[in-house]
Structure 1
């Protein structure tokens, strides 16, 4: 059967010596089988469904469901879609590590906070940050007349920021944009950038950072032109 990992990386185009090779190691696949199995068992138990009942609802055989739950088989995306539809969840629910109960409560008093400039700048994490995420979500608080330099990220990283209270001046290279309450801005985070609060009250904003995806490793070695000749 095809692993769900095939949607993320095609082993046929990956170098066996490249960074993605470990994703297809026996250990990685065993971990994936276990993760999918644990989540399927949890979701089925929450809905008080027997294997037979889920098999009838999804069209996936009881034997196959039992194999998935026990970690003896990694289902194809087609099978996962059928089971997800029957359980009324997304396919991603089978691949999550952080949500034991199908969701994760993030109490404000336990959130990870980055505090700098003697407390004049605070970034509170609004997402589970135990693992690297494709998107990061932060609440920002900037003291009056304070300027905070942004951290340059990898090429392809994008920031989407919206001001919820006060005003902010966003500088990207030598260009500046003043944002009032409710205004938003999107920019590439691999550039030099900074945030400045020009007002006399604290400014508050919410920032979503979309991390750059690892680009595919294309074969860029010179090819014999004869190989590309169309007869």
Structure 2
């Protein structure tokens, strides 16, 4: 959606941009090592204890944590099982335990210049994602024009409170509470609240498919948490 917007963020958040890694796979090795060390520290496991629980040697675990060894999927599966996490936990830049809590009071919110429309991201916005999930609030009698997205982008919207009129090209659809709609976001579209109370909705935006690509931080951007040895 567009109109002049202001981004309201947590004032304590770090917004410093980080340079990308020159060698993506070196960064990937480092990411796996950082996550392994963090998960091990959270469980207060020594290298010896994790080696006994996983069946992976202490030396191998130490090499993985220091990014001196590329672990096989089989090795990662053994370690993940011992730590009670999924293999994907070693590749995340967030949510190493498989989930991430996003407190409402600390979330950012995009607000229109007149304050009559806002969108709150319900996903970690610091990480690339194939889908976006937002909570929308639209003031009474306000119309918010949508930003046309890349061809192939789809929006799925459901009204949680009030009513909304969704316009796509010259077609209009009135949605009551609980109603949902799916439309192509590369078309001209807008949202209008015809009621006399604030309307709320949840919007999922599925981005156009792009070729898969590793997105990993540079090694020096990752902070290693001390773990017992």
User: How many Å apart are 1:101 and its aligned residue?
Assistant: 7.4
Aligned to 1:83: 79
Is 2:90–2:96's contact at 8 Å kept on the other side of the alignment? no
For 2:33 and 2:144, the matched residues in 1 are separated by 45
Range with greater deviation from structure 2 (191-200 or 82-91): 82-91
1:41 aligns with 2:37: yes
User: How many Å apart are 1:36 and its aligned residue?
Assistant: 0.9
Range with greater deviation from structure 2 (55-64 or 172-181): 55-64
- Map residues 162-181 of structure 1 onto 2, 5 A cutoff: 162-181=158-177
Equivalent residue pairs, number:
193
**SS class of match (2:165):** strand
**SS class of match (1:118):** coil
Query: Structure 2: any 5+ residue segments left out of the alignment?
Result: 1-19, 213-229
CA gap 1:52/1:107 in 2 versus in 1, 3 angstroms: same
For 1:62 and 1:205, the matched residues in 2 are separated by 51
TM-score with structure 1 length normalisation?
A: 0.73
**SS class of match (1:38):** helix
For 2:33 and 2:189, the matched residues in 1 are separated by 44
> What is the CA deviation profile of residues 51-103 of structure 1, one whole-angstrom value per residue up to 9, with x for unaligned ones?
23323333333332221111112323333233222222122221222347765
Report the aligned-residue RMSD. 2.5
Give the structure with the larger helix fraction: 1
- Map residues 135-146 of structure 1 onto 2, 5 A cutoff: 135-146=131-142
For 2:88 and 2:164, the matched residues in 1 are separated by 36
User: How many Å apart are 1:207 and its aligned residue?
Assistant: 1.4
Range with greater deviation from structure 2 (72-81 or 42-51): 72-81
Query: Structure 1: any 5+ residue segments left out of the alignment?
Result: 1-22, 217-231
Give the one of 112, 120, 123 matched to 1:124: 120
**SS class of match (2:23):** helix
CA gap 1:54/1:215 in 2 versus in 1, 3 angstroms: same
- Map residues 1-231 of structure 1 onto 2, 5 A cutoff: 27-99=23-95, 103-116=99-112, 118-215=114-211
Is 1:36–1:74's contact at 8 Å kept on the other side of the alignment? no
For 1:101 and 1:90, the matched residues in 2 are separated by 8
For 1:190 and 1:117, the matched residues in 2 are separated by 24
**SS class of match (1:119):** coil
Is 1:32–1:74's contact at 8 Å kept on the other side of the alignment? no
**SS class of match (2:144):** strand
TM-score with structure 2 length normalisation?
A: 0.74
User: How many Å apart are 1:194 and its aligned residue?
Assistant: 1.3
